[in-house]
Each structure stands twice: as C-alpha cells, then as structure tokens.
Structure 1
Amino acid sequence: MEAAEQRRKRKRGRHILLSLSSSRSLFLCSSFIIFILFMSSHHRFFLFFFNFNTATLLRPPLALSLLYSSATSNSILDPLTPLTSSTPSFTLQHRIQFPNHYLLLLLTNHHINPHQLECVYYYYTNASSSSSSSGSTEPLVIEVQPVLSTDRFDESRSIARCPFPRTNGTAVDLRRRGGNLIRRSSYFTTNQTVVQSWEKGVYEASLDRESNTVVVFVKGLNLRPHKVSDPTHFRCHFGFKNLNKDGSFLITTRAVSVAQEVVRCLLPQGVRNNTDRAKGVGVTVSHLSGNFRHPVRTILPSIARIDGKGKKKRGKYELCVCTMVWNQGSALREWVMYHAWLGVERWFIYDNNSDDDIEEVIQDLDSQGFNVTRQVWPWIKTQEAGFSHCALKARDECKWVGFFDVDEFFYFPNEFHHQLGQGGGLPGENSLRSVVANYSSSRSIAEIRTACHSFGPSGLRSHPKQGVTVGYTCRLQSPERHKSIVRPDLLHVSLLNVVHHFQLREGFRYVNMPEGSAVINHYKYQVWDTFKAKFFRRVATYVVDWQEDQNKGSKDRAPGLGTEAIEPPNWHLRFCEVWDTGLKDFLLSYFADPVTGLLPWDRSLL
C-alpha cells in the first residue's frame, strides 16, 4: 500500500512540474511577444530585421567586415582620467594606410582639436605578453609624433591623420597628449595592428531617396574605366549597429548599376517606405569571381555608413559649381568671387587632404555671403567618384552644376566687349547663369560643354600678385579638352563621368558652346613654384601620376616634362603661342579700384 501511495505522489509531482514548465514556457513566450510589440511600436525599424530572407545572409570574416567596430573598439581617453560631462569621448573605429600618412577614423560627437591628441607607435613583445597577469599583451611604445590634422568626417565621426613612423613594423594609435597608451578591448587585443589599405574597400555611401537606392563608392574593383559594367555579379550588404556585434551583415540586395568606382544597389525592402531609417547604416559590396563551376564571392572591407542628408528643397539654385582641390586656399577667392559675378549661386568644395588655410578661406567666403561649403573628401585618386558623389548631393539643391577646377575661368568675349549696361550694370554680369537658364526648359539638352584654352607662365617667374586672370596672358593657340555644366537630374543612373563630362540618360544630349561666345581660360601651366605641386599626386583615378614612368605622351602630361619635379630650361617662356589679354583688360577696366588698383579678391584680404 505504501509503495502504491508513493507512486501516486511521484506521478502527481510530475504533473505539477509539467504544468509549471508549460506555464513558464507560456510566460516566456508571451513576454517575448510583448517585447516585440513594444519594440515595434517605439522602433518600427526593429521589425525589419525579422523579415529578411536568411538565404541572403552573408557572414564574412570579422577582420574584413567591421562596419560597426565600435562594439569592439577602444577609447582613446586616458584610462587614468575620469570621464566627466565636459570630457569628450572618442572611439577608434578604423585605421587606413595612405601613401604618405595614416588616417584614423573616430566615433565622436565632439570636434577634435589636433592639439588634444598625439600619434603613438608601438609593438607587442612576447615577454610583455607572458608577464601580463591577465594573459593579454601589453604595448611597448617606441615613438610619439604630433597629429598632422583632424577633420569632421560626418555627423558622428571625425578623422585624425598621423605621419608614418621612423621605425618600420609598428602599430599606430592615438592618445591624449601626454597621457598613457589606451587600454584595449578584446578585438584589438587579438588584432593589434589591423590597418586597412586605401586601395581596397568601401569608403562612402549616399542615399538616393528618389530611386530607393544607395550609391556606394568602392576602391579595388578594377573595372574598365569610362564604361558601364555588368551589375549582376555585384551585391550590397547592410549591417546594423548593436544587432551585429560580431561583424556580420544582416541584409543583402542586388546592384542595379555599376561603373568605375560607383555601385548602386536597391535599399532593403524594410526601409524603402521610410528612407530615414537607412541613415547611419553600414554597407559594403561584394562581387563574384572565379568560374562557372567554382564561383567565389568576395566581400570588401568597409568603413562606409549611409549618409542620409539631402532632402528636396522647395526652390533650387539655377547654377552651382563643384570642384575638388588640394592646397588651393590661395586660389579660391579669385575663382569664387569672379564666378559669383557670372551668376554662380552655390559652391561645393571637395577638400582632398589639404593642409593649408583652405578651411579658413571657405569660412570667410561663406560669411561674406558666397554660399560655399567644404566637403571633407580624404580619399585619394577618386576625382571621378567625388564628382559622382557631388552630382547626387547637388541634385536636390541645383538645376545645373558645373564641374571645373579652380584654375579655370569662364570668359565671354562678346558679352564683355559691350559698353556699360543700363542702370550702371557691368557688361557680361550673370552671363553664365543666363546661358544655363536658356536651356533649363529644354527637353533634350542635359549638358553644356565649353572648350578650354591652356595658358602658360607668360614670362613670369613668380606668382602674379593680382591673380591668375590678370597675370597669365599667353596661351596655346588650339583649345585642349572641355569642361561641362550638367543637369544632375538627367544623368545616367550609373553617374559615370570622365571628369570632363558625364554620361547622360537615354534621350538626352549635350551642346557645345561656340568659341566666339564662351571659352574657359585654363591657367594650366603656371610659374614653376606653383606648377610643381602637380607632382605630388593627380586627383583623377585613371590619370597616371606625374612621377610614374607611364603614358609620357598623354595629353594629361606637360609636353617635354619628365617624371621628376625639376624645372625644365626656359619654363617661363613655354606654352606661349598667342597673347590673349581679353579677360585681363576687362577686369582691370571694370573691377579694379580706381585709386588703389586692387581687384575685389585683393581687397578682401585687407
């Protein structure tokens, strides 16, 4: 009897445990559903992650996919300094090696003063590793150098540039000036010297709200220049902060166009109805290689996050200008002020690692009402991609965008030779804006091309004090190349360009400006001290640098010039076939101060 009673008790106990287990499972399930509903009501974007096709999920190696490495990165705060509300925090995300410096990408909401930080170079030793009680390696600092410069990169990130160390084989990092070397997280403990090459990887990404696509800028695809490529072998992969701390990508979409360094992909389905959700999302690109039997999909390292800026404005500027510069602060005032008089209303200056006073010059011009902004663009040999980026960025603000350099000046011979206009207006004022406005209503014209006349040193041995438009007056007889003003809303989906012009949408064409009505004075071959800066680096992707022993007969080189920055004999007399003082005479007649003789860009410096 007692045995039977004990069996009944054990059976009843099992029923109770099963009941409790079922109740607990039901409670956990209900709690999870409530949590999902809560998140969806407050963050609808959360539901997006549960709707993707798991077959498209791609998980590359961690070292190549740190779209959001802040989860496993290191703070450059001195560990001995207490963190206060007034102490800005920084998180190192990426190290990128360029030909002559390191670029370190930092996550921070604060402006970084270069004097706050210093570059630290170190290596790890087995002895220090074995002596560590925790078993982690300890750095041996062997060199410290000042930070070269800092810049704000986007809304949440900044960059710091460090020189190369004097000792090879060392890692680079940052610390507060005079502080201790930073402590390291688990990721950087096992990957102390991870440095990404500038020659391979995804470096920028821009949202195109009109087409529900993202335009991604990539180095290392090695595609045919000046051609649209087959997009079927390319994919974009999206990663989302805090949901992929292991570096994996959650969503994959197909590419719709590929050309040179620009890949355009569809946005993930879950964000197309509200593209603001894509802002700040990490993205990379993969491409298919190998053969039919053994295809290999290669995913590229990435530092890119989707830039969510750029909403349509109610009204657009008639004419804007975009250019890419390196150390051209001294040339900007003349170029901007002159073209403002011709009718340019907005300037996009893409700064390619300048270390002169260009930032102060741009701020000063903007404060004077010239509507100039500086776009930090640290990526070298990317002029074509930069122009594609600018065309997309300017589309929401501008009807027409001109792409030309700061040594190129539009000149209207017929307009400038008229007498003073009625009401005291200067002849030729707003001429450039009037030209493009006449084509704004055209149903077929999407690009205006203007021929360039190349000017030489004109006998000068030092930079002209009143500017290039007055100083250089002798040029080659025949024009060289052209530059373009385009309708950014009518460009080909690939944004393909060759610097001088863009590929247009099907059904649209370009028009050439007659030389008698408009030309560009290109002050290309300036005095040697100015010209030799070109030997540092050419900004265009597919143009060989001057110091490389290739394509010596190319039109992109100066005739008779070698691969070294050595002044040729009689440089100051070269490239002089026709004396052309038309623009100089006009400016001195109508723009110079009658008492001092100063031009507007000279007076602005007083």
Structure 2
Amino acid sequence: MASIALCGIVRNEIRSVVEWLAHYKALGFTDFVIYDNESTDGTGEVLQALDDAGEILRLDWPHTVGARPQRLAYEHMRVHSTVDWIGYFDADEFLLLRQDASIADFLARFGDDVTAVAINWVVFNSGGQERYRAAPVMERFTESLRRHDPHNRSMKSIGRRERLSGTGIHRVEVAEGRYVSPSGWDAEFSNGQIMRSIDTEVAVLHHYMVKSLEEFQEKRNRGHANSQDAERKRTKLDSRFAEANAPGRANTDMLAWSGRMRVEALRLRAILLAAGLSYPVWPFVEDTG
C-alpha cells in the first residue's frame, strides 16, 4: 500500500488543528509531518502529545531556519521523507473527495505517468460570523465564493515524492511525468500558482481563508510562516479580506465527511485528554447553539 503524507506548517492553530488532522486521517492519509512554527497557544503541546502517541511527527521549525520557513519546511520534507506521495496543505485547507472513499482511491485514478495533481481551491467566506464558536470549521462555514471567482483558480498540490525536483507553496516542481488536474487533464498554469481552468468535479480544496472576523484578525496578527516581514503580510491580508469575504453561494458539500472526521477527532481528543491536555475549543468542548 502506498504511503501518503500530509505535510503542513502551523502556528497558533489550537482552534482547528485537531479537526484538520482528524479530517486527513478520515481521508486515509498514512503519515503526518507537521512543522511547528513557534506556536504559543497550545498547538505545540497538542502536536507533541500526538507525536508521543505515534499519530504524527512534529518538528520544531522556528523562523530562524531561514527567510521563508514554509518553503524550507516543504523542501525539507521532500528531501528527507521516504513516503510515496506528499500533499502540501495548510491548516485552513480541507481536501474534499467528491467521488472517492479515500485518498488511496483518489490517487489510484492516475497512471504511473502522473507525478503531481493540482487541486483547485474553493474559498469560503465568513458567512457573516463575527466570533469564534466551538464547533468544526467544516460545519460552521457553508458559504463559498462562486465557482469562477478568481480566488478559486489558485491551487495546491500532491505529488510523488521521488519524482519531484523541488517544492513551492502552491506548485511543486516535477522532474518527470505529468502534472494533472483531479479529472486527469494536463494542468496549465499562469503566474505560477494559478490554474487556467477550474476543475472541481472529482476533488477540490476547501480553503477557509476568512473564518469569522475574530479569527481573521487573529490570523492577521500572528503573521505568516512563509515570510519574515509580518507587516507586509498583514497589509496583503487586509487588501484581500473584502474580496475573500464577498457574498457567495451555499456550499454544504464537506458535510458528507463531517461524521467520519468527528470519529477521528474524538479518538485524538481521548489521546490528548489522557496526556492532560484540554482547551476551550472544539473538540474539547462544543457549542451547539
């Protein structure tokens, strides 16, 4: 069986990190390599407890590793890992498989000539929510930007590690083989990370870019793992907020995976409680209002 890894870098994601990991476990990812970028809100302790339990590998990854910690983390994973496939996804990105029961089934669609798959974003707005509520992200936010919104042309990648020659934040570098969309047609890019055509029929990456206003402000204040220039990143986020929070359409597609995610989240919660960890966030508590 192929080994399929989730690679991500996080900082202060205590409100969603358990759900994020649980979702990818429900999808059937076999390996989890999470780079902790100087978390101070309990995220590091959660990751370490799950590392101690054999659920993930946590690597301490401070800004002192270099000017762009996220890029360096991704490249570190490519060079030092031994897994077959690597999916590079952030903690606010949740993969939705529309036609397959697992990530293994999804990847089985592609022949040996395929090296990497580019998966489009579907960006979600705040839905008018101003405050954090202790409930799963995928259940709280059910309004996405319209299909052909320019934000949805961005993408992230999953690729065969041995045939990658480099990594970027969105797009990997393919040494040999094809770079395709989830439907199997050759992916065409403009400006590096932008796909010329949007393909969401087989798989899509739900990007909860905004969440609630409170959570967006926290995101803005904590800076970014791919930049040493926090103020520059904040300015960029401010300029994109109105666009990413534009009125959209109802989108409840991810709720089909909510039950499976919850099973995994409760299992991880039990591990964390046994380690003496508890926080006023889901899944430790739940606001059903």
Return the TM-score normalized by structure 1. Answer: 0.37
Deviations 1:27-53 (A, max 9, x none): xxxxxxxxxxxxxxxxxxxxxxxxxxx
1:317-336 alignment runs, 5 A limit:
318-336=3-21
> Counting helix residues as a fraction of each chain, which structure ranks higher?
2
What SS does the aligned partner of 1:503 have?
strand
Task: Give 2:173's aligned residue.
Answer: 503
SS of alignment partner, residue 546 of structure 1: helix
Q: 2:266 aligns to what?
A: 600
Larger Rg: 1
Classify 1:392/1:367 alpha carbon distance in 2 versus 1 (closer, same or farther; 3 Å). same
| Equivalent residue number for residue 208 of structure 1 | none
Give the whole-Å Cα distance in 2 for the aligned partners of 1:438 and 1:355: 41
Deviation at 1:586, TM superposition (A): 4.7
**Residue matched to 2:159:** 486
- Paired residue total: 247
Distance 1:603 1:327, change over 3 A: closer
Aligned with 2:240 (options 546, 554, 558):
558
Distance 1:540 1:383 in 2: 5
**Structure 1 pair 387–471 and aligned structure 2 pair: CA distance change class (3 A):** same
Q: Tell me the SS of whatever aligns to 1:513.
A: coil
Q: Which SS does the other structure have where 1:520 is aligned? A: strand
* Partner residue, 1:339: 24
Distance 1:586 1:392, change over 3 A: closer
Q: Distance in 2 between matches of 1:446 and 1:557?
A: 35
Amino acid at match of 1:376: D
* Structure 1 match to 2:34: 349
The alpha carbon displacement at 1:602 in A equals 9.0
Residue aligning to 1:383: 70
CA offsets, 1:231-254, max 9 Å, x none? xxxxxxxxxxxxxxxxxxxxxxxx
Describe the SS at the equivalent of 1:558: helix
Distance 1:323 1:516, change over 3 A: same
The whole-number CA distance in structure 2 between the counterparts of 1:393 and 1:384 is 14
Q: Matched residue of 1:402: which SS?
A: strand
Does structure 2 retain, via aligned residues, the 8 Å contact 1:546–1:557? no
Q: Tell which has more relative contact order, 1 or 2 (C-alpha 8 A, sep 6+).
A: 2
Residue 483 of structure 1: SS of its match in structure 2? strand
Alignment partners' CA distance in 2, 1:432 and 1:556: 34
Amino acid at match of 2:128: G
Match of 1:53 in 2: none
Distance 1:519 1:376, change over 3 A: same
Q: 1:377 to 1:592 in 2, by over 3 A?
A: closer
* Cα distance, 1:528–1:376 mapped onto 2, change above 3 Å: same
- Cross-structure match for 1:580: 251
Deviations 1:545-582 (A, max 9, x none): 3344xxx6xx9951448xxxxxxxxx9xx333111012
Residue 460 of structure 1 aligns with which residue? 129
Q: Which amino acid aligns with 2:104?
A: R
Using the TM superposition, give the Cα deviation of residue 389 of structure 1 relative to its aligned residue in structure 2, in angstroms.
Answer: 1.1
**Alignment correspondent of 1:537:** 223
The alpha-carbon deviation at position 336 of structure 1 amounts to: 1.0
Percentage identity across aligned positions? 23
The whole-number CA distance in structure 2 between the counterparts of 1:556 and 1:530 is: 13
Give, in angstroms, the shift of residue 448 of structure 1: 1.1
- 1:362 and 1:412, CA in 2 relative to 1: closer, same or farther beyond 3 A? same
1:526 aligned onto 2:206: no
Gaps of 5+ in 1: 1-315, 416-427, 562-570
Q: Distance in 2 between matches of 1:369 and 1:340?
A: 13
Counterpart secondary structure, 2:118: strand
How do residues 6-25 of structure 1 correspond to structure 2 at under 5 angstroms?
A: none
SS of structure 1 residue aligned to 2:246: coil
Residues 448 and 486 of structure 1 are in contact (CA less than 8 Å); yes or no, is this contact kept in structure 2?
A: yes
The 2-side partners of 1:446 and 1:522 are apart by: 23
Over aligned residue pairs, what C-alpha RMSD do you find?
3.0
- CA displacement 1:310-346 (0-9 Å, x = unmatched): xxxxxx8520011111111332211111111111111
1:538 partner amino acid: H
Measured in 1, the distance between the counterparts of 2:268 and 2:162 equals 37
How far apart in 2 are the matches of 1:474 and 1:452? 14
Aligned partner of residue 510 in structure 1, secondary structure: strand
Question: 8 Å contact 1:318–1:437 — kept in the other structure?
Answer: no
d(CA) in 1 for partners of 2:11, 2:138: 20
Deviation at 1:592, TM superposition (A): 6.0
